Amino acid sequence: MGNGSSLPVQEGQPLRLVCIDDSNPPARVSWTRDSLTLQPSQPSNPGILEFPRVELVNHGRYVCQAQHLLGSLEASVSLLVKTPLKLFGPSCSWEGEDIHCHCSAQSQ
């Protein structure tokens, strides 16, 4: 994926974000989401973030930063968590001799 791109993911699906650096000596790789530092899924490989089940709270901009003696580079991806359509209702009420029912739906 390109730097700064958006990645739509269905809620509940597994996801693995991989950041690969190619430097000698190896760079120090770290992840942030919306400016908060994240712990890598595998401490031995800090370039991997795994989500066994994506949740709505995982929505946000993820940045991988590689710091090296000669400088640093970063790449980002915006995770857009999609939720399935949920139907609420119906809620019904009597108005005189008529019954009125309302239902609503929500999705992201």
Segment 2-31 shows an average pLDDT of 89
pLDDT > 80? residue 1: no
pLDDT at 2: 66
Average the pLDDT over each of 25-34, 49-58, 82-91 and give the range with the smallest value: 82-91
Percentage of residues in the chain with pLDDT exceeding 90?
48
The model carries a pTM of: 0.74
> Which of the four pLDDT bands, split at 50, 70 and 90, describes residue 57?
very high
- What confidence score (pLDDT) does residue 92 get? 83
What is the chain's mean pLDDT, rounded?
Answer: 87
> CA angle, 105 as apex, 103 and 108 as ends, to 5°?
170
What gap in Å lies between CA 52 and CA 89, rounded to an integer?
31
